[in-house]
Amino acid sequence: MSKKTIDQLDVRDKKIFIRADFNVPQHDDGSISDDRRIRATIPTIESVLKRGGSVVAASHLGRPEGKGLEAEFSMKVVAQRLRELLAGSASAVHVSSGLPSQSHAEVAALQAGEVLLLENLRFEKGEKKGDEQFANAMAAYADAYCNDAFGASHRNDASMLALPKAMKPKPCVAGFLLAKELKFLGETLENARKPFVAILGGAKVSDKLPALEHMIGKVDSIIVGGAMAYTFLLAQGVAVGASRIEKELIEKAKDILKLAASKGTKILLPVDHHCGQELKADTPKTICVGAIDNGWMGLDIGPASQHLFAAEIAKAKTVIWNGPMGVFEMPPFDAGTWAVANAVIQATKSGATTVAGGGDTAAALEVAGLSACLSHVSTGGGASLEMLEGKKFESLVHLDER
């Protein structure tokens, strides 16, 4: 999946439409709590600006319902952060005053070296519907289209699919972020060096089931942690006390364990558990080895599991990680996740290719300042998981091949 990238375009005196993923988390007061997705697209924007072009940037933010302008979901907060990050690169960063499809005058006034951030794409019903008329309106804005929104590339929204289609025969390319994501979550994993270890965690088996099934037979071992591990342990006949399980998936878990055995993929489950009586930081705590006693719930992997998982990761030449090992937001039940993180970092230092999926895993690594310690940390939660499931993204079809 080798696509042309933004640096291969002549952008001088041209307007480039960059579909970014600026859907960033915010505090209650509306301020940005994590700007990682904005920072990730800065190199793509700067590539255009420094070579004499201008940028029409667009994204969604939050979940407005297409009812027009809503101050709560305005892109103004993102525009302010862009001004700070692009200081010295952009001569100006504007945000459109009206709906994205009604910004022709502001786009026409855009000068080389400037950025116009369109208002929230989801202010218009046509975005989520994949509306061609909405896409056609925006297609007139620019001389080329650039997809740098990996986090939205699994969606067929108008700006992701109908817009590049409407832009043809104008160039349609990948931004640096998208190209990097496709390299690590696509090419690298398809041609993974062995041993290949996958680490899956999080709350629900149902969330990771397609990825689990897709990776069986492709990876050498799958480490399963988080609450999802307890459904698998129960499927093996291990008592799990009051731990969170998905009863309706117990038989499916049995099938997955059998499939893995038949395909030669080893599945590692926790052998001990850091347990509490309630989901509270001050709950009574204990370590349960093997079975979990009645009245206790597994909230993190225990110390023996940490060592077991770390030893498996140490053998790996390729590691893919998606999902925490426990309730990582609540110390001390974050210890298992950090033990796995440290093992993955050590594997990276030993020459392994290490990739962390989006969502909670990426957020935790970012907060801890550890993102740069892995080969790649994805910006896309749902998108990275769908790529691990082997799904093909229709939004990439209309991007020019290298």
With H, G, I as helix, E, B as strand and everything else as coil, classify residue 124: strand
The catalytic position among 37, 128, 180, 208 is: 37
Contact 381, 24 (CB under 8 A): no
Name residues whose C-beta falls within 8 Å of residue 375's C-beta, 6 or more positions apart in sequence: 184, 348, 352, 353, 354, 355
CB atoms within 10 A of CB 294: 8
Place of tokens 């719930």: 297
Cross-strand bridge partners of residue 211:
none
Residue 373 and residue 346: Cα distance in Å, rounded?
9
Distance CA 283, CA 17 (A): 52
From the list 62, 186, 241, 382, the catalytic residue is 382
State the pairing for strand pair 353-356/297-301: unpaired
Q: Is residue 288 classed as helix, strand or coil in its secondary structure?
A: strand
204, 218, 252, 285: which one is catalytic? Answer: 204
Give alpha helix (H) positions in 12-131: 36-49, 76-85, 104-108, 125-129
Q: What are phi and psi of 221, to 5 degrees?
A: -150, 150
Torsion of CA 336, 339, 343, 348, to 10 degrees: 100
Using CA atoms, how far apart are residues 242 and 244, in angstroms rounded to an integer?
Answer: 7
Catalytic residue among 326, 359, 380, 381: 359
Half-sphere exposure of residue 22, counting CA atoms within 13 Å on the CB side?
Answer: 29
Residue 128: both structure tokens together: 């989520």
β-bridge pairing 353-356 and 144-148: unpaired
Q: Among residues 287, 290, 216, 283, which one has the least CA distance to residue 253?
A: 216
Segments in 191-302 forming alpha helices (H) = 205-215, 228-235, 250-263
151 is catalytic: no
Length reported for the chain: 402
Q: 327 near 333, Cβ under 8 Å?
A: yes
Residue 37 is among the residues annotated as catalytic for this protein: yes
Tell me phi and psi for residue 332, to 5 degrees.
-90, 15
Q: Mind telling me the catalytic residues?
A: 37, 204, 359, 382
